[in-house]
Amino acid sequence: MYFLWGPFLSRVRTAKQTLYFNWMAQLLPRQTSMFGGRGLFQWLEFTKLVGITIQGDGTIDGSGSMWWQETPFEDPVDNESEFIIPLNKTVQQHPPMPIRSELNGKMPSIKPTALRFYGSFNVTVTGITIQNSPQCHLKFDNCIGVVVHDMKTSSPGDSPNTDGIHLQNSKDVLIHSTDLACGDDCISIQTGCSNVYIHNVNCGPGHGISIGGLGKENTKACVSNITVRDVVLHGTMTGVRIKTWQGGSGSVQGVLFSNIQVSEVQLPIVIDQFYCDKSVCKNQTSAVALSGITYEKIRGTYTVKPVHFACSDALPCMDVSLTTIELQPLKEQYHLYDPFCWKTFGELNTPTMPPISCLQIGKPSSNRPQSDHDTC
């Protein structure tokens, strides 16, 4: 069991160990030869541990601006940005990143995650601040029993691909009382995640709280029992979002978004089953099946479009439930759109503001049974 601290390697031998961070660590290599090859995947890594706690009031600084400045336009682009059309054509879509790099020459192509846990049980992260990560700030892969609370991530809103908290193949996760500012999803929930409970989180800047993108390169994705409630999003690109690629399989089911307060959010509610982070993606008929998606008490202001439901032609979204949706437009700098729905079926339990008349009530007439291809 190893963890990586810049160029230094140490061993953690005992289970149920608490590591205290009460100081600031700036992860700043002085020469590119320290990376070796294409680079490091993470600055700090904890692998196959039981009962590990990271706590304290210290700061981990990932010195990410060296990567952001080096290749700001080579990274995948969030395709929801295509709806964001400035009224003032002089607004910069990709403002330049600040130059803070002390390194000469090109940075390694791999961007490190600041702090990663892999294959661990009963993991707790609390108190610390992670800032300016080259890529993800905090990542959990193949973990069971994760608790994150009273911590912060902090990176500029235009820092590329800097997810706040990234979950993959992880179960029984609790995230609460946390402030997340980054340049991508504040929380990203990927395939293999179930029993995830998120509450009392502040998000912004960033791209909101997202499930996906799922099903990339015709893969199977399974996500279930996700609850996001009592969350505040300010100045984010999207609010609460589910995004899947064409050609995938598997399912997303049992998702609740409740009591979400949005302020100056561009697209507060999004389902996008045509997600694509490059200029062209192949049209495909298979899709990740989405069902049992509940939105309740989503209130606040938007600047582009209140609701965007773009579901698969072959496998429409089912059992999408809307209750107490109250979203007011702020016409300041972007073109405004009406709510949009495509192949989206469910129910309106209360009147919505604005009216979401495009939602199709009930179930699709040609609803086909879920096949083994879809089953998780």
360: enclosing H helix or E strand: strand 360-361
Measured CA to CA in angstroms, residue 336 lies from 87, 322, 356 at distances of: 10, 21, 15
Active-site residue 373, yes or no?
no
Q: Got the DSSP string for 140-161?
A: EES-EEEEEES-EEE--TTSTT
Cα–Cα distance measured from residue 46 to residue 283, given in angstroms and rounded to the nearest whole number: 39
Q: Are 280 and 252 in contact (CB under 8 A)?
A: no
- Catalytic choice (137, 166, 207, 308): 207
Q: Indicate the SS3 state at residue 34.
A: helix
- Catalytic choice (184, 185, 272, 374): 184
Q: Which residue type sits at 299?
A: R
Phi and psi at residue 218, to the nearest 5° = 60, 30
Active-site residue 166, yes or no?
no
Cα–Cα distance measured from residue 61 to residue 25, given in angstroms and rounded to the nearest whole number: 6
Q: Which two tokens stand for residue 80?
A: 């929801």
Cα–Cα distance measured from residue 10 to residue 13, given in angstroms and rounded to the nearest whole number: 10
Q: Indicate the SS3 state at residue 270.
A: strand
Tokens 């390697």, residue located: 9
Active-site amino acid positions:
184, 207
